[in-house]
Amino acid sequence: MTDTTESGHADASDADGATDADGATDAGDADDVTAAALADQVRDGELRLYELEDHADPDTAATARRRLVGGHQHSAFDGPETALSTTGEYAFPAADAETNIENMTGAVQIPAGVVGPVTVDGDALGGERYVPMATTEGALLASVNRGCSVLDRAGGATARVLQRGMTRAPVFRVADVAAAQALVAWVEDHERRLREAAESTTSHGELDGVTPYVVGNNVFLRFTYDTKDAMGMNMATIATEAACDVIETETDASLVALSGNLCSDKKPAAVNAVEGRGRTVAADATIPAEVVEAVLDTTPAAVAEVNTRKNHVGSAKAGSLGFNAHVANTVAAIFLATGQDAAQVVEGSNAITTAEVVDGDLYVSLTIASLEVGTVGGGTKLPTQAEGLDVLGVRGGGDPAGSNADALAEATAVAALAGELSLLSALASRNLSGAHADLGR
């Protein structure tokens, strides 16, 4: 197995640049000298932090930043050489992350694991699957894993992607409400023209429609795209800008902001809970009463009552947009393990859990209204996150296009359903605090 050095490079003592019999300096020492000099230049104001890659390779630039930050942290540049040393032990070339981060110092390692196997009956994903998760919250994977085992004893869970559509909603200024109405009419009459402009910017994305919203002399146009296997936020932004250029050229409307917050991205929003964003996905299962009693130490009726009083009545009283127990927990852990945009956990928690007794057994379901996932682009290209996608067998573009992202959404919904089932049962059996105590978390 390849080790990594403080500079982030793979350790290869026999490679070119290693110290020879004459005592020549090896490549690692040379990199350290360069890194120290670069750190000095930043400290002295000769270079800016983001300019280091212009003067050295990305790994050396990252080393320079660690030396600088470590020295600053300890109030002297000659502080401990081990400062940020663990951050510097990353297992991929820093150049691989250039599109994902700026001012790189290294990598933060989050413990990763799997739950399952759990049987998934989906349109895009089928059979027994392990689901990758990364978290620092003790007992989370144990809880989700318990739910997976219960789902498997019941024959697995069914999952379906119900709707797809990444959105971007620019806001335009017009003269008055009459002009707003005129703009809406123009957009409806020229949607084909807008589609041509938007789709000219991408070889994959498709404009599904434009929904107008008028507030006085503000007109919001919510563009919705099928972005296939990409999460598609950048794709939607670039495509929408092209369409906005057409609107400004051919109407009297003035674009104020390419994003007018009616998208709505990375914020709690009822529009996403109702209309959906990314993928709307649902999963369900029926758990035999004997399994609920034997494995979860409770009854179908007790689980159903906890769900109603906690997830529905309690959430309504709190004014919550999510009527669930802890869907964000599972969604966040899967996002981290598979390279998704972590901030979009906000929309990923837009979920409703149901539970009811049907013929004596427990029927449970989970519907996530706005799950924004992709298997190409963004963080999915990073090596460890790509391996997380490999665990599910969904890395890269699917055939047909969009099927891999659908599969990831179905797996996420099933794992989140397992987490809901486990937590609701722990509450119903009054074992929640005991489980944490037993696991020492």
Catalytic residue chosen out of the listed positions 55, 72, 312, 436? 436
The enclosing domain of 212 has a CATH number of 3.30.70.420
Query: Which range of residues forms the domain containing residue 31?
Result: 27-97
Residue 13 lies in a domain: no
Catalytic residue chosen out of the listed positions 6, 152, 341, 420? 341
Residue 304 lies in a domain: yes
At 104, phi and psi to the nearest 5?
A: -65, 135
What is the pTM (predicted TM-score) of this model?
0.88
CA distance 338 to 173: 40
On whether both 289 and 347 belong to a single domain, the answer is yes
- Full pLDDT tens readout for the chain, 441 residues: 333 333 344 333 333 333 343 333 454 566 777 888 999 999 889 999 899 999 999 999 999 999 888 865 444 444 445 568 889 999 999 999 999 999 999 999 999 999 999 999 999 999 999 999 999 999 999 999 999 999 999 999 999 999 999 999 999 999 999 999 999 999 999 999 999 999 999 988 999 999 999 999 999 999 999 999 999 999 999 999 999 999 999 999 999 999 999 999 999 999 999 999 999 999 999 999 999 999 999 999 999 999 999 999 999 999 999 999 999 999 999 999 999 999 999 999 999 999 999 999 999 999 999 999 999 999 999 999 999 999 999 999 999 999 999 999 999 999 999 999 999 999 999 876 555 555 555
Q: Which residue has the tokens 């997380």?
A: 388
On whether both 293 and 192 belong to a single domain, the answer is no
Tokens of 149: 């085992």
On whether both 186 and 217 belong to a single domain, the answer is yes
Q: Strand 157-168 to strand 126-134: parallel, antiparallel, or no bridges (unpaired)? A: unpaired
Note if 74 is an active site residue: no
On whether both 67 and 121 belong to a single domain, the answer is no
Q: Which residue has the tokens 């890659």?
A: 53
On whether both 323 and 393 belong to a single domain, the answer is yes
On whether both 41 and 178 belong to a single domain, the answer is no
What's residue 71's pLDDT?
Answer: 67
On whether both 202 and 239 belong to a single domain, the answer is yes
What's residue 392's pLDDT?
Answer: 96
Identify the bridge partners of residue 215 per DSSP, sorted by sequence position. 218
At 157, phi and psi to the nearest 5?
A: -125, 145
Domain-ending residue, one of 190, 223, 257 = 257
Are the C-beta atoms of 401 and 204 separated by less than 8 Å?
Answer: yes
The enclosing domain of 279 has a CATH number of 3.90.770.10
Identify the bridge partners of residue 122 per DSSP, sorted by sequence position. 159
Identify the bridge partners of residue 279 per DSSP, sorted by sequence position. 164, 371
Note if 436 is an active site residue: yes
Q: Which of 232, 191, 197, 196 is nearest to 209 (CA)?
A: 191
On whether both 75 and 122 belong to a single domain, the answer is no
What's residue 142's pLDDT?
Answer: 96
Residue 294 lies in a domain: yes
DSSP class of residue 234 equals H
On whether both 370 and 252 belong to a single domain, the answer is no
**Angle (nearest 5°) at CA 333 between 136 and 281:** 160
Note if 326 is an active site residue: no
Residue 416 lies in a domain: yes
The amino acid that residue 258 corresponds to is L
Catalytic residue chosen out of the listed positions 26, 40, 121, 137? 137
Count CA atoms within 13 Å of residue 137 on its CB side: 13
Residue 412 lies in a domain: yes
